[in-house]
Structure 1
């Protein structure tokens, strides 16, 4: 029986969230002792404890896109970071000033590039998240270009191993297209 650590889970009604959770667990629970958990308001990564003997990638509100975003962060985190709550990172919440927003975006480029690839593999449409509704106005177009450039770099040099495994699993499960630079140019043209 799964123990839900986050606030009361909310189901956004997306019928593919359950299959996504099952796919993550089938891909990673045995080798990495990690489960994907539908959570409440705030996403969080929780390492295993005596009470919960597996690591938890907790995504917000049962949203498919939140799950992919949190999975992307997990795919980048190294072994030592995966032993720390939220990988040991300090999070600056919504309401960031311009400098804090630039720092936030710099850290988010790689995970959002992986999330973009996962979103395409899951046969969905991607949109960057600047996550700052009550702060400095973000440069959404500029951030999208930086995330896209990182995605192109991953396409040329390869994705991190866990990300690559999950992109393939998503494509198989959700019949997503093969992600190529040609597909990206056609479906997601530059500004």
Structure 2
């Protein structure tokens, strides 16, 4: 882990340095619920709002943006279906399928920042499920990214985080500890 403090203000600065000019997108500290809002008549930029100034929330919301394509970035919350905490086992399985790639990217970005990654099933009040398959799927996706590379924007931010936090530029799967999940 990095010895540098993990301040959400630094993450905002680093993200905005990478993407304000090229994608007209800003990372913004939000309130209770994170949300992505495309530019509209009230705001001339796209905004990724993360919850309560939590560094991990910012990394997670950024990860969704990093894998969203051009069309999804035109939609509120990228047009994804979302059922809040309290999901059934079936709803949880669908949630986990959608979360594999963003959480894999979040883990890679967390490593680049020297920040501990915590997998999130985000269903504390829902039906109990076994998260082992989900954890394995996220770990496997990190392995795919380590072999094939990250999407371009994710790689750009990863390198920026590595430079700022002075962490290893390693993205090899051996750099990731499955048992930490």
Partner of 1:80: 71
Pick aligned residue for 2:28 from 27, 32, 37: 37
Query: Mind listing any 5+ residue stretches in structure 2 that lack a counterpart?
Result: none
- Structure with larger RCO (C-alpha < 8 A, sep 6+): 2
Q: Under a length normalisation based on structure 1, what TM-score does the superposition of the two structures give? A: 0.88
Query: Mind listing any 5+ residue stretches in structure 1 that lack a counterpart?
Result: 1-13
Partner of 2:172: 180
Q: Under a length normalisation based on structure 2, what TM-score does the superposition of the two structures give? A: 0.92
Distance 1:127 1:19 in 2: 20
- Superposed displacement of residue 35, structure 1: 0.2
Distance 1:71 1:45 in 2: 9
Q: Secondary structure at the match of 2:126?
A: coil
**1:170 paired to 2:164:** no
Pick aligned residue for 2:60 from 65, 69, 78: 69
Pick aligned residue for 2:82 from 91, 114, 122: 91
**1:132 paired to 2:109:** no
**1:121 paired to 2:109:** no
Aligned length: 176
Q: State whether residues 34 and 56 of structure 1, in contact with CA within 8 Å, keep that contact through their aligned partners in structure 2.
A: yes
